[in-house]
Amino acid sequence: MTRRLGRAAGLISLATMLSRVLGLVREQLFAALLGAGRYADAFNVAFRIPNLLRDLFAEGALSAAFVPAFKASLKRDGQAAAWQLGNRVAGNLLVITGSLVLAAALFAPEIVDAMAGDYRVIPGKHELTVELTRIMLPFLMLVSLAAVAMGMLNAQDRYGAPALAPALFNVVSISVGLGLWVAGVDGRWVAIGWSIGTLAGGAAQLLIQLPPLWRTGWRPRLGLDLRLRDPDVRRVALVMAPAIIGVAAVQVNVFVNTMFATSEPGAVSWLNYAFRFLQLPIGVFGVAIGTVSTTRYADASADGDHAAMSRHLVEGLRLVAFLTVPATVGLVLLDTEIIRLIYEHGRFTARDTGATAAALNYFVIGLVAYAGVKVIAPAFYAARLTKIAVTASVAAVAGNVLSNALLHPHYGYRILALGTALSALLNFTILYVMFHRRIAAVPHGALVRHLIKLGVAAGVMAAAVWGSARGLDALFGHDRLWARLIDALVPVGVGAGVYAVACHALHVEELRAISDKLLRRLRR
C-alpha cells in the first residue's frame, strides 16, 4: 500500500512540481512587469475574489464531497450510473457558479469596496480593480467544470491529466505575459491582458482533461438535478455545503489578510508573492499526497475499514513531514536569496525583496501544518464527519481574524502572515485529535519518533545550508545574475545532499522507499 501511495503521489508530485515551477516563472514575469505597485495590487485583489470561490467550490469542497460519492456509485451501480452522477453534478455546478458570477459582476464595485475600500484614495485604482474582477469572474465556472473532470478521473486512479492541468494554466499565462512584454504596453494594459490570460488558462485546465475522460467512457450529457432528487447528487450537496467551510481555512485567511493588507501600499503584493513560495511545497507534497489519500479514504470508508484509514493517514503524514520539514528550514535560511533570484527584476526592487522575505518567514511557520491538513481533512468527509472539519476550519479562521484585528494596527502586514500560519497549526491540531477520537486510533509515539529523526536531520542540514550560503555570499556577492544563481541554488543542493545522508544514517523509511523507486526507474 505504501508503494501504491508513493507511486501515485510521485506522479502527482512530478506534475505538480512542473506546475509550481512554471507558476514561479509566471510570478517572476508578473513581478518584472508590474512589481508591487498599484497595478499589481489591483490585479491581486481582483483575482482573489474568483480564486477564493474557486478554492472553495471547485478544488476543495467539490473534491472532498464528489470523489467519495462517485467512487461509491462506481462500485455499487457501475460506470453508467457514475457518469450520470458526474454529469448531473456538473450541470448543477454550472448553474450555481454561473449565478454567482453574474451576481458578483453586478455588485463588483461593492465587493471591491468591502475588500479594498482604501483603493478609492488612489485615482483609478478602485475602478481598475472592479474591471479586472469582472474580466476574471468566469474563471470560476471553467475551473468548477475542470474540478468535476478531475474528480471523475482521480476516482478511477487516473491522476496524470488532472495533475498536469495547472501546468497548462501556467503555460498559457506565461505565453500571454511574454506577449505583453514584447508589446511593451503600460501597466494598466498589462493588468488587463494578464486577466484575459488567466481566463484562457482556466479554459485550458478543463480542455486537457476531456480526452482522457472520453477514453474512460464518459460522454457529455446535459444533466441537471437542482431539486436533488438523485440520492447521490443529494449526498454530494449535503457534504459539499459544510465542506465549503471545512476546507476553507487557508483560503479564507488569505482572503481576510488581503482585506487588512490593502491599507498598506504594496502589502497585498508582498503577501501574495510570499505565499506563492509556500504553495510550491504545499502543492508538490501536500496536495499530491492528499489527492491520493482522498481516494484511499473513500475506498476504506466504503468498506468500513477504519484501520486502513489510520494506515493511510500515518503514511501520508510521515511522507508529508519527510518532505516539508527540510523545505521549512530551507525557506527560512534562504528566503532572501531565493526571492532575490526569482523576483528582483524589472519593477520589483530590493525593498520588495526584503518585504516579501519578511512575510515568507512568518508564513513558513505553518508549512508542515498546511500540508498536513491537505492529508487529514479528506478523511472526515469520507467518514461523513463533516461537522468536525467545519469546526476546525471555523476555529482557525476565527483565530486568524482576531489576531489580525488586534495586532495588525501595531505590527503591520507581517502579522497577517503569522496569523495564517498559526491558524493552520490550530486547524491541523483539531483534526488530528478528532481523527484519533472519532475515526481510528493513531500511533502517536511512532509519529513523534519519526518527527524527532526528521528534526535531527533537518538540524544538520540547516548548519550546512547556513554555512554554505554565508560563504558563497562573501565570495561572490549577489549583484550579478550568475552570483544570485550560485547563492540560491548551491546551498539548496548542499542541503538536499546532507539531509539525505542524515536520513539514511537515521534509517528514515521514506528515504529508502523513494531511493528504491528512483533506482528501479533508472534500471528501466
Tell me: the pLDDT tens digits for 245-269?
A: 655 666 677 777 877 888 888 888 8
Please tell me the predicted confidence (pLDDT) of residue 12. 62
Q: Which residue in 243, 62, 298, 36 sits closest to 162, CA to CA?
A: 62
Closest CA to 378 of 108, 38, 66: 66
Task: Give the type of residue at 337.
Answer: E
Could you give the C-alpha distances from 350 to 26, 169, 267, 314, in angstroms and in order? 19, 29, 15, 42
Q: How many CA atoms lie within 13 A of 10 on its CB side?
A: 14
Q: Is it the case that residue 56 has pLDDT exceeding 70?
A: no
pLDDT per position as a tens digit, 372-381: 888 888 888 7
In whole angstroms, give the CA distance from residue 451 to residue 368: 11
Rounded Cα distance, 114 and 117, in Å? 6
| pLDDT, tens only, 121-178 | 888 888 999 999 999 999 988 988 888 888 888 777 777 787 788 888 889 999 998 9
What CA–CA distance (Å, rounded) separates 499 from 462? 9
Buried residues in 92-121 as b, exposed as e (16+ CB within 10 A): bbbebbeebbeebeeebeebbbebbebbee
Decide which of 10 and 497 is more confident. Answer: 497
Give the Å distances, CA to CA, from 83 to 233, 270, 438.
12, 43, 32
Does residue 274 register a pLDDT over 60? yes
pLDDT at 154: 78
User: Using CA of residue 139, residue 141, residue 144, residue 146, what is the dihedral sign?
Assistant: negative
d(CA 415, CA 359): 8
Q: Which one, of 452, 473, 190, lies nearest residue 318 by Cα?
A: 452
Q: Of 221-235, 402-416, 507-521, where does the model show the most confidence?
A: 402-416
Q: Residue holding cell 491537505? A: 374
- In terms of Cβ atoms closer than 10 Å to its own Cβ (0-12, 13-18, 19+), residue 436 is middle
The one-character DSSP state at 285 is: I
Half-sphere exposure of 267 (CA within 13 A, CB side): 21
Q: Which three cell numbers stand for residue 494?
A: 548542499
| Number of Cβ atoms within 10 Å of the Cβ of 287 | 25
Cα–Cα distance for residue pair 149/205, rounded to 1 Å? 10
| Amino acid of residue 183 | A
Instruction: Taking residues 288-292, report their average pLDDT.
Output: 63
How far apart are alpha carbons 173 and 27 in whole angstroms?
Answer: 10
Grid cell, residue 110, equals 461593492
pLDDT at 2 over 50: no
C-alpha cell at 72: 461509491
Where along the chain do its domains lie? 2-219+229-442, 444-524
Using CA atoms, how far residue 81 sits from 31, 71, 410, 445, in Å, is 47, 11, 57, 44
pTM greater than the 0.85 cutoff: no
- Counting residues of the chain whose pLDDT is more than 70, the rounded percentage is 88
The pLDDT > 90 percentage for the chain reads 25
Whether the CB-CB separation of 422 and 395 falls below 8 Å is answered with: no
Non-local CB neighbours of 314 within 8 Å, separated by 6+ positions: 442, 443, 446, 447
